[in-house]
Structures are given as C-alpha cells and as structure tokens.
Amino acid sequence: MPRKVILDVDPGIDDAVAVAMALFDPRLEVLAVTASGGNVAPEQATANLQALVGILDPPRLPRLGAAPTDTSWPAKPFNMHGADGLGGIDLPRARLHGGHASEKVIWETFHAHPREVTFVALAPLTNLSRVLARDPAIVEVVGEVVVAGGTAHGVGNATPAVDFNFYCDPQAARHVVREPMAKTLVPLDTTGHVTFGFDLLEQLPRESSRAGAILRAMLPHAFRAHRQLLGSEGISLHDVVALVAVTNPELFERSTVAADVETGGELTAGMLVVDRRTVRQWRPNLDLLTACDTAAVKDCILRGLAAAGAGT
C-alpha cells in the first residue's frame, strides 16, 4: 500500500525537486501539498506550489494549501534560490482548485485518515505548529512527522549553529519537537553528505517532459548559487534527501535521542540541542538520522527524477 503523506514546502529549488519526485512515486500517496513561507515570501510560496503542480499535472492531484501571510520572518543571510525561489524560471501563475489555508488542509487530512498520514516537513515548521496550537488533541491522529531540519553537531547554514528551516521559526521548531508524537529528524549534517556534481544536469529527464523542462531550467541556478555564495562546485538537495528518508528509511542510520530547540540568543535561536550527558536528564523524544548510504541515496534520487520525467 502506498504511504499516505502531506508535503509541507517553501519552494525553493530543492522543495520543487522533492515535489516533482513525490508526485510520481508509486510508493507515496500524496494527499496534500501545503505551502509555507521560508525560502520565499508566503505569497510567492503559494504561487510557486500552484504553478509547479499545475505544470507537472500528476495523475492524482493533491489538495493544495496556501501559506499563512500573517507571519514574520527573520532576514535571510543569503539567497540560494533566486528572486522567485525557483532559479528565476518565471513559471506561469496557475491558480488551482481549492485555495484553502495550509492549516485547514493539514487538519482535515489528518482527521480524514487517522494515524495513517506521514507529515513530511521540508519547510519551517510554522504550519504544523499552528495546527497543533489550535487543536492540541490532533497528536492522537497524526501518523508520523519527518522533519528536514536541525543540525546534529551544531554546524548550520543560516547561522554558524542553526539550519535554515529552524532559523526561520525557532518557536515552531521547539513546539513540534516537544509534542508527544512519532518524529524523525533528518538534520543538515546528514542531508549535506549527499552532493551532486555538474554531471547531474546530463542525467535529468528529457526536456520534452514537463518535469524535465522544469528541472533543467531550475538546477543550473542551484549550481551557480552554490559556486558563487558557498564556493562549492557541487550542490546539496537537502529536502530531496529528507524525502528519500521517507521512501527508503533503510538507507539511514537512526538514533533515538532527547532533544529540544533553543528559541533565544542572538547566535543560537533555532539551534537543536541534544542531551548527550552521561546521565541524561531529558526523556527521549525523537529519532535522529545520523548518517546515510550516500551512494544509494543518490541512486534513489536519480531514479526518482527519471520516474518524474517518465510520468509527464
């Protein structure tokens, strides 16, 4: 049976790649894709999501959620994704059916399939935190939460100690981490081990496919941004690796830990803190994916991209 999932995204080049892969993966039943601010402003995130799904035109159209606009975001240290979040490819706006708020879509999807849905958080945890705040009892019907975020060893990409998703909304990250539900965290340390060189561009789906046209337009910007801003000739697709952790969990090493998120401090707001004391004082509350088979994960990603192209 396909695994029922909600994808929560802030598209974002790597979010867009993950969405394209998930929508055509027969192992996943994507019930909903919800937007959040983060890589781009909330309005842009919603527009990007609607345009992506509209162009990809998957065989089963998921429900779409609009990003909340009544939120504030910290200044981004740098922009890896271009003005529109998708490498400046200027996708045509395509307003699709629905138009409900992400919170509403998430709440209704969990209740429609009690304890069956995996929430895949590839964005700041704002949407899930807001759902939990409005209805704390919803933890009883959540299946699992898989989060792309945090740093296991304190080496961040938004600040020296904090990854981008937790940096955007530290309070939401703490809220979700503290909730009593099954959680798996795919930290920056682990996703960053999987990198691609320029040869990735030659292995993308053909340009005549809808997925191939989008991927071939977006990913060259990712290589330019990594080179110009990070001095790296390769790229990391953090959110895509987190998606592979959902479809192929056997490729990752897992450790159950006791963790929390710091919400204050000029340098540490959003920092994941793991209790590593000899005599641990905190109770274990999540699974941390500490390493992965990088070659196998890369192969999964390439096969997922090929499937997306074949499906369009």
Q: Over its length of 312 residues, how does the chain's per-residue pLDDT go in tens digits?
A: 999 999 999 999 999 999 999 999 999 999 999 999 999 999 999 999 999 999 999 999 999 999 999 988 787 777 889 889 999 998 887 666 557 999 999 999 999 999 999 999 999 999 999 999 999 999 999 999 999 999 999 889 999 999 999 999 999 999 999 999 999 999 999 999 999 999 999 999 999 999 999 999 999 999 999 999 889 999 999 999 999 999 999 999 999 999 999 999 989 999 999 999 998 899 999 999 999 999 999 999 999 999 999 987
Q: What is the pLDDT of residues 41-51, one digit of tens each?
A: 999 999 999 99
| CATH top class, domain 3-310 | alpha beta
Cα–Cα distances in Å, from 147 out to 120, 144, 188, 226, 254?
Answer: 6, 10, 11, 23, 14
Examine the residue annotation and report whether 153 is marked as an active-site residue of this protein. Answer: no
Give residue limits of the domains in the chain: 3-310
The residue behind tokens 């935190």 is: 129
Of 175, 221, 226, 238, the active-site residue reads 238
Which residues are CB-contacts of 277 (< 8 A; sequence separation ≥ 6)?
none
Q: What is the pLDDT of residues 161-219, one digit of tens each?
A: 999 999 999 999 999 999 999 999 999 999 999 999 999 999 999 999 999 999 999 99
C-alpha–C-alpha distance, residues 131 and 156, integer Å: 27
- According to the model, what pLDDT value does residue 77 have? 74
C-alpha–C-alpha distance, residues 10 and 165, integer Å: 10
Which residues are CB-contacts of 52 (< 8 A; sequence separation ≥ 6)?
11, 16, 19, 20, 86, 91, 214
Q: What is the pLDDT of residues 62-75, one digit of tens each?
A: 999 999 999 887 87
pTM, two decimal places = 0.96
C-alpha–C-alpha distance, residues 191 and 195, integer Å: 9
Pairing verdict, β 28-35 and 117-121? unpaired
Pairing verdict, β 28-35 and 3-9? parallel
